[in-house]
Chains A and B, each alone.
Chain A
């Protein structure tokens, strides 16, 4: 738009609103400076009794948790993360019941193995399926993400892969939570020489190259141990067991350091001294003062541990040390998709996007939880 046109528009606008504008300008309002405190009492009216009562209402007393949740739910990023996670979790719970294919099931049409159903693109049906649908008039469930090279429905495989990744992430972080908290609090409470020795051990474990040790141990466990009869873990395979063991052995040190540091600083606070001076018993001090003050930091750390566990799992699966076949995992799906990347790029894109979505959601949630709950940031 040129300047001249714009000016003519402004002029027209002024002409049209001539009467209203002049009317407003008739009242010579006293020229008031911005931020001036001159108040015209005529503009106000007395409050009724009812209105006065409203001022008396105190804010509802809130607990630490409620306050944090309020802050969390006000953060748009946290909402996005929660929505993504809810959708993902709902999908992985519901999908296996809705989709009529199994994660290790080769597609059959009317009981006959469909040999040409390999590498279908999303929502495509094989010739045999089309023929069957025409003949019987029955509608088959679409292959939402196509099929893989062994004629298995890819969507359900991605769903199971996501299940594995999420379970591994949550289980591993719970393990880190338990071991780290117990070790850290013992070290923090005991203090002195016990603390010193325990922390030196942590220092050494902390500087171990964790991924190399995981790879090494998963090779060893694969050769030496047999978990195939154990119900759930047997399906995931020895590699996952070794990953859990290594998580239990190595990853807790960060948590232990954090918990110890928290307890040491909290122990020195005045309110602890005050509580002790009033005569509170140690149990009460721990329950009422120490735990509430460090629980948020611990929860945040646990939430942030989940994506790192998912990373490790997908990484191991990618180099072929992950879950036992035919159980899929997002990493092994991505690895398998590499060979046909030129012709079937979506097979790589689906699991990769799934990993990114989950990790992104957990990262965002962890960060916004830290902003909402961390007592150090609240002050």
Chain B
């Protein structure tokens, strides 16, 4: 077990290092230094700036310094606003985490409930209705979902105000973020539930007279949820990438909209900071769900 965890952690570190490497060299490949675009500065000022940000060093050394700074939690300064990047990321992450966290919980709870309903009513109308909507929602990118929600509930029905910066309404963004992964979780739960229902131990439990509810919750659901746990990692990733556009649609100043903004403004240090931050989050969540998977299911053999 510990050997497996060590292996996974090493892999995660390698991945993160690769992400840092790619982002750093990608950003350095862009022509022009961070201070070229602004008004012409005197050579003396340029020299001080270059000295300050180590821009006169070779790229390899710059990478080394950047990595050292990042490990100390120093992401540098934004090129457009001049603010500290870590503070910006952290404050906008709190907004995103609130919405994203709610979306994850909503997706998990409703996905599992709908999946079980579909599996237990196999080939009856609840199954057909659920699978119809699941198929529809998996074909809908989150930005289409978000735009449609905005169109229907804000503009046509006027249930929710469109732009509220004072008291932001989280209902629609959470729905838009959670529906696509929820559809996937429903499908996942349904198939694993059907699989579990066909197992011998479920038949044994039924045969010895265990109450149906107990069979479902104790014998079937517990085993059927294992694949759902593995999905928590990819779920975080999908919610995060979904938040890039959903936050933009609903004009929420979260991490996603910061990231997209920094791209359109070509704020390179900000792009790098957010990429590394988001990548770390995804890799850590993947790691956690992989390890959880092995902990939860003792049947899985460790390599």
- Listed in ascending order, the chain A residues whose CB lies under 8 Å from chain B are 200, 203-204, 207-209, 211-213, 215-217, 219-220, 223-224, 307, 311, 314-315, 318-321, 331, 334-335, 337-338, 341-342, 345, 348-349, 352, 355-356, 359-360, 363-364
Contacts and interface: CB of A to CB of B under 8 A. Distances in A.
B135 A364 contact: yes
20 contacts: A207-B286, A208-B15, A209-B282, A211-B244, A212-B19, A215-B263, A217-B26, A219-B30, A223-B266, A224-B30, A224-B31, A311-B141, A318-B143, A335-B143, A341-B147, A345-B151, A348-B147, A356-B136, A356-B139, A356-B144
Given A223-B30, A318-B245, A321-B263, A203 B139 contact: no
Contact of A352 (B31, B144, B279): B144
Given A212-B279, A315-B141, 20 more contacts: A204-B11, A204-B15, A207-B286, A208-B15, A208-B19, A212-B19, A212-B241, A212-B275, A215-B275, A216-B26, A219-B30, A220-B26, A223-B30, A319-B245, A334-B143, A334-B144, A341-B151, A345-B155, A356-B136, A356-B140
Contacts of B283: 207, 209
B100 to A, nearest CB: 15
A222 B27 CA distance: 12
Given A338-B147, A341-B151, A319 B141 contact: no
B11 A203 contact: yes
A337 to B, nearest CB: 8
A148 to B, nearest CB: 16
Nearest to B272: A216
B144 A216 contact: no
Given A307-B139, A338-B147, A356-B140, A213 B155 contact: no
A319 B244 contact: yes
A209 B263 contact: no
Contacts of A364: 135
A307 B135 CA distance: 13
Given A223-B30, A315-B245, A320-B264, A341 B155 contact: yes
Interface string B270-303: 0100010011001100100000000000000000
Interface majority SS (helix, strand, loop, mixed), chain B: helix
Contacts of A224: 29-31
B153 to A, nearest CB: 12
A216 B147 contact: no
Nearest to A321: B263
A319 B27 CA distance: 19
Counting chain B CB atoms within 10 Å of each CB, which of A207, A213, A217, A360 scores highest?
A: A207
A341 B14 CA distance: 45
Contacts of B138: 363
Interface of B: 11-12, 14-15, 18-19, 22-23, 26-27, 29-31, 135-136, 138-141, 143-144, 147-148, 150-151, 155-156, 237, 241, 244-245, 248-249, 259-260, 263-264, 266, 271, 275, 278-279, 282-283, 286
Contact of A216 (B23, B237, B260, B286): B23
Contact of A219 (B139, B147, B266): B266
B10 to A, nearest CB: 10
Counting chain A CB atoms within 10 Å of each CB, which of B12, B26, B147, B148 scores highest?
A: B147
Kindly list the 4 A-B residue pairs having the minimum CB-CB distance in the complex, ordered from nearest: A360-B139, A359-B139, A220-B26, A352-B144
A38 B144 CA distance: 63
A318 B244 CA distance: 10
B188 to A, nearest CB: 14
A146 B137 CA distance: 27
B249 to A, nearest CB: 7
A321 B245 CA distance: 12
A358 to B, nearest CB: 8
A203 B264 CA distance: 32
A335 B260 CA distance: 13
A379 to B, nearest CB: 16
A355 B260 contact: no
B272 to A, nearest CB: 8
A200 B125 CA distance: 46
Contact of A355 (B141, B259, B271): B141
Nearest to B143: A318
Nearest to A310: B141
A317 B101 CA distance: 27
A371 to B, nearest CB: 13
Nearest to B260: A319
Nearest to B277: A212
Nearest to A338: B147
A209 B135 contact: no
A159 B281 CA distance: 39
B149 to A, nearest CB: 12
B198 to A, nearest CB: 15
Nearest to A367: B135
A211 B256 CA distance: 12
A118 B139 CA distance: 31
B145 to A, nearest CB: 9
Counting chain A CB atoms within 10 Å of each CB, which of B11, B22, B141, B283 scores highest?
A: B141
A318 B22 CA distance: 24
A268 B237 CA distance: 36
Contacts of B244: 211, 319
Contacts of A320: 260, 263-264
A208 B141 CA distance: 21
Contact of B278 (A209, A334, A349, A355): A209
B144 to A, nearest CB: 4
A331 B283 CA distance: 28
Contacts of A307: 139
Given A207-B11, A356-B139, A363-B139, A216 B29 contact: no
Nearest to A211: B241
Contacts of A363: 135, 138-139
A213 B31 CA distance: 19
A258 B1 CA distance: 26
